[in-house]
Amino acid sequence: MSQEFNITVLPGDGIGPEVIREAVKILRIVEAKKNLKLHLTEAPAGGAAYDATGHPLPEATLNTAKEADAVLLGAVGGPKWETLDFALRPERALLGLRSNLGLFANLRPAKIFAPLVEASTLKPDVVEGLDIMVVRELTGGIYFGEPRGVETLADGSRRGINTLVYTDSEIERIAKVAFDVARKRGKNVCSVDKANVLECTGLWREVVTQTHEDYQDITLSHMYVDNCAMQLVRNPKQFDVIVTTNMFGDILSDQASMLTGSIGMLPSASLGGKNAMYEPIHGSAPDIAGKDIANPLAAILSVGMMFKYSLNLEDISVVLEKVVDEVLKQGYRTGDILSKGMKEVGCIAMGDRVAEELEKRLS
C-alpha cells in the first residue's frame, strides 16, 4: 500500500512561486518513483494573501497548514507591502504560522557543496568541507516579546520598544533539540548568547548547561554572539551545531549561508509541533522576481529536509544532496553562484536539470 501525505504549499511572494514550482517538480518525481500519494493543497500567504483577502495569513490558509503533515513555503514580503501596518505585513504570516503550528525549532544547515568552494567569499581552505547546523529558537525571544511598539511620550518624542523574553522551559526544549541533532552529527554544540550584557541570555546559558547534564556524550561550549560572528568568518569549521536565540539565529544563519556561496542554496526545517514547515532561508528577492533567474536549490533542498523529517524517507534527502552536487559538478549555475567557465541557467532550467538527474538515480 502506498504511503499518503497531505502537504500544504504556500508559494508566497516574489521569487517564492518560482522556486516552489521547481520544488514541487521534485516532490512529484519522488511521489511517482517511490509509489507515494502526495496530496498537495496550495494556499495564499504573505502579500499575495493580503491582496486577495486583506490578511497575510487567512484563516483558511492556517487551517490547511494545521491539518497537513508538512508545509512547504516559498517566501513572503516585498516593497509593495512595506507601508502596511506591522500586523498586516506579509512577514506576519511567517510568525503566525510558526507560533500557531508550535514550530519552536528552526534547523538551518550551512553545508558547502564541493563544486561551490570557489563561490564562497572566503578562501577555499577555510570553507572546504564546511558543515554547520544552526538550531535557532523560533517562537520566542525579541520577535514575540511584549511590550512592543512605538509610543509617543509626553514631550512629543517617540520611543520604540521590543522585549527579549525567554522562559526556562522554552530554553530547555530548544537545547534538547540541539543536543539530539548533534548526537547524529559531530557531537559538538556551541550555545551562543550575550550573557555578559543581557540577563535573559544569562538564563539561557544556565538552562542550556543544566540540560546538558543529560547529554554527557555531547561536548558543550558557550560563545558570545559578537565573538561567534567573528569566528564564523575566521574559522567556521570549528562549529558543528550552533544553538541560539531567535534573533541571533536569524542573523548568524544568514552569515553562515554566505560561507557556502549563496543564500539561494540553503534550506531550512521548522520543527516542534504536530507537523513541520520547510522553506528556503532566503526572502522573496523582489530585485530578481519574475525574471526566471532565482536559484531554486534552497527550495529543492528544503523538500529534501521534508523527506527526512516528515515523510520518513531520509534516503531521499541524501539522494537529493548527491543530485544537487552532481548538477553543480556538471557546471550548471544560476546567476547567484555563477563563476567563470560555468554554464548559466535560469530557475526553471536548474529545476529541470535536478529533476532529470533525480529520475535517473531513482530508476
Contact residues for ligand NAD, defined by CB under 6 A: 15, 19, 75-78, 91, 94, 263-264, 279, 282-288, 294-295, 298, 336
Active site residue 184: no
Which residue is catalytic, options 226, 274, 329, 343? 226
CB of 197 to ligand NAD, least distance (A): 26
Active site residue 292: no
Active site residue 309: no
Which CB atom, from 95 or from 198, has the smaller least distance to ligand NAD?
A: 95
Measured distance CA(210)–CA(98) in Å, rounded: 27
CB of 42 to ligand NAD, least distance (A): 16
Which residue is catalytic, options 193, 194, 240, 332? 194
CB of 17 to ligand NAD, least distance (A): 12
DSSP 66-112: HHSSEEEEEE---GGGTTS-GGGSTHHHHHHHHHHTT--EEEEEEE-
Measured distance CA(104)–CA(124) in Å, rounded: 34
CB of 148 to ligand NAD, least distance (A): 17
Which CB atom, from 195 or from 324, has the smaller least distance to ligand NAD?
A: 324
Which residue is catalytic, options 51, 180, 254, 292? 254
The residue ranges of DSSP E strands in 138-217, in sequence order, are 149-152, 158-161, 188-193
Which CB atom, from 91 or from 193, has the smaller least distance to ligand NAD?
A: 91
Give the H/E segment covering residue 279: strand 276-280
Q: What cell was used for 155?
A: 514631550
Helix (H, G, I), strand (E, B) or coil at 50: helix
Q: What cell was used for 228?
A: 561567534
Q: What cell was used for 249?
A: 539565529
Which CB atom, from 93 or from 243, has the smaller least distance to ligand NAD?
A: 93
Which CB atom, from 98 or from 194, has the smaller least distance to ligand NAD?
A: 98
Which residue is catalytic, options 13, 25, 50, 143? 143
Half-sphere exposure of 292 (CA within 13 A, CB side): 8
Which residue is catalytic, options 250, 278, 308, 332? 250
Active site residue 125: no
Please calculate the CA angle 132-107-29 and round it to the nearest 5 degrees: 100
Residue 129: how many other CB atoms lie within 10 Å? 10
Measured distance CA(61)–CA(289) in Å, rounded: 23
Active site residue 254: yes
CB of 199 to ligand NAD, least distance (A): 29
Residues classed as catalytic: 143, 194, 226, 250, 254
